[in-house]
Amino acid sequence: MKTTAPVEKNQELTVDIEDLTYEGMGVAKVDGYPLFVADTLPGEKVKLVVTKTGKNFGFARALELLTTSPDRVDLKDKTYMQTGIAPLGHLSYEGQLKFKQHQIAEVFQKSHLDIPVLPTIGMEKPYAYRNKAQVPVRMLYGEIQTGFYRKGSHNLVPMEDYYIQDPAIDKAIVIIRDLLRQYNVAPYNESQQKGVMRNIMIRRGHFSHEMMVILITRTRDVPHLNELIAGILNKIPEVVSIMQSVNPKNTNVVLGRTVKKLYGKSFIRDQILGLNFDISALSFYQVNPVQTERLYTRAIEQAGLTGKEVVIDAYSGIGTMSLAMAQHAKYVYGVEVVVPAVADAKRNAKLNGIHNVKFEAGKAEEVMQQWKADGLEADVLMVDPPRKGLAKSFVDAVGQMKPKRVVYVSCNPATLARDLSLLQEFGYHAKETQPVDMFPQTQHIESVTMLSLD
Ligand code: SAH
């Protein structure tokens, strides 16, 4: 086999870790050839074994830390590092916040964007924050287990304390696992495509404490379903909604195409910035409620609303930011592609007695073009796209509509940099970028950038 790698699989060597990738892996260079090593930090000298070599880079596993970084923290439970739940758990929180600021700055620099990146706004308690969990159910050594996948695999590591999740959710998962054991409901077997229970998904309102349980099953029929429902309601009084989603496919996608109600409401209600929101199973909802309020507050401040503005909220989800902005604007138009989320947004407007909003279901890039064609003129545009960022046709429509300000909430620095460069070509100028840590202990980076016309 022809390879340019200067190292071989299973070779042991001692290296210095020089950098961290955006995925939180340490980087060592051997004759310029990068090796990625999980659970290592810049400045550490590490004995490692090469596990995989490719043409341009390879992977290795740390065997021994010969020196440790002052930024290293000892996690009380090593399980977190074996799974993908807390890939930055070994880095001090201070170090994580700097890492995120630095990552954005680096991407900007590579893209020749001269935009200062402010220090990351972090959490006082950077754990136990997630209001949503999605865990696989599997049979391990004859016992039904719930937990998290080992990094880069589909091998389940049983867990009861997930560290970054709301502890009430962790407890609920254990209760449901025990009910599955009690009634012997067969877990999904991926290799044989057999079994029933694939995943348990739980969402809990941080303020309301309302809980939704979604049972994701391979088959429509679930043995002892009535006993399971009764057990869940009896043992977890916060549950106001139990749903089932059937996913018969051999896929990594967790949810099936539809969800049906087994008990109670088909949504939970929670509060953000003093407003009420109903959230149904398929709708996006920010996972870190404490930081969401900070993120939204920053984004809305940057929108500079005085009560006179026409605002577009693109990628509006269940209307969280739209409704918060409507209180300070003349009118808000929201656009979102997931139909049940749009239904939630409309219901949420009514729920809060907010009438100066309109929600449209569709692709932001298409609806934006349509709005432009219809002569809609927005003063402020809020965008909060998924990781792939804005479609080129969306940016083109912005360039034609020319809102005075664009507030860009991003969960991916790479596509943020790409889109900011495009917006610059239309005369937009960004003063600074503010990272807000929505995902402590993980590599994910969220930020807010305001652009205005020069
Ligand atoms: N601003 C909302 C949602 C942000 S998440 C909040 O803070 O809660 C991004 C949202 O974009 C998701 O709801 C997703 O369903 C939606 N989305 C993804 N691609 C889209 C597209 N092409 N057009 C419109 N919405 C899209």
Q: What is the rounded CA–CA span in Å between residue 14 and residue 256?
A: 46
Q: Answer yes or no: same fold for 132-272 and 288-453.
A: no
Reported as a pLDDT band with limits 50, 70 and 90, residue 3 is: low
Cα(143) to ligand 1 centroid in Å equals: 39
Q: Per the CATH hierarchy, to which homologous superfamily does domain 12-72 belong?
A: Nucleic acid-binding proteins (2.40.50.140)
User: For the segment 215-251, what is each residue's pLDDT rounded down to a tens digit?
Assistant: 999 999 999 999 999 999 999 999 999 999 999 999 9
How many Å separate Cα 158 from the centre of its chain?
A: 22
Residue to mutate (ligand 1; options 284, 366, 448; most atoms within 8 A of CB): 284
Annotated binding site: 286, 315, 336, 384
Q: Which atom of ligand 1 is nearest to the CA of 382?
A: 1
Q: Closest Cα to residue 360, out of 352, 349, 265, 53?
A: 349
**Domain map of the chain by residue range?**
12-72, 132-272, 288-453
Helix (H, G, I), strand (E, B) or coil at 278: strand
Per the residue annotation, which of 118, 338, 351, 411 is the catalytic one?
A: 411
Beta strand residue intervals within 69-164, DSSP E: 132-140, 143-149, 156-158
Say which CATH architecture domain 132-272 belongs to. Beta Barrel (2.40)
* Ligand 1 shell residues, CB under 6 Å: 284, 286, 315-317, 320-321, 335-338, 341, 363-364, 384, 386
Q: If DSSP states are collapsed to H, E and C, what string results for 13-68?
A: EEEEEEEECCCCCEEEEECCEEEEECCCCCCCEEEEEEEEECCCCEEEEEEEECCC
User: For the segment 405-449, what is each residue's pLDDT rounded down to a tens digit?
Assistant: 999 999 999 999 999 999 999 999 999 999 999 999 999 999 999
> Is the per-residue pLDDT at 137 higher than 90?
yes
Which pLDDT belongs to residue 1? 46
Nearest CA to ligand 1 atom 16: 315
């950098």: which residue's tokens? 19
Which pLDDT belongs to residue 105? 97
Cα(223) to ligand 1 centroid in Å equals: 36
Cα(334) to ligand 1 centroid in Å equals: 10
Question: How many alpha carbons fall within 13 Å on the CB side of residue 370?
Answer: 10
Say which CATH architecture domain 288-453 belongs to. 3-Layer(aba) Sandwich (3.40)
Q: What is the token pair recorded at 328?
A: 């300070």
Instruction: Decide if 443 is catalytic.
Output: no
Answer whether 172's CB lies under 8 Å from 211's CB: yes
Residues 94-106 have a mean pLDDT of 96
Q: Closest Cα to residue 35, out of 15, 262, 247?
A: 15
Assign residue 427 a region: left if phi > 0, alpha if psi is -120 to 50, beta otherwise? left
Which pLDDT belongs to residue 396? 96
Cα(316) to ligand 1 centroid in Å equals: 6
Q: What is the rounded CA–CA span in Å between residue 317 and residue 211?
A: 20
Q: What is the token pair recorded at 421?
A: 């460069």
Amino acid found at 385: P
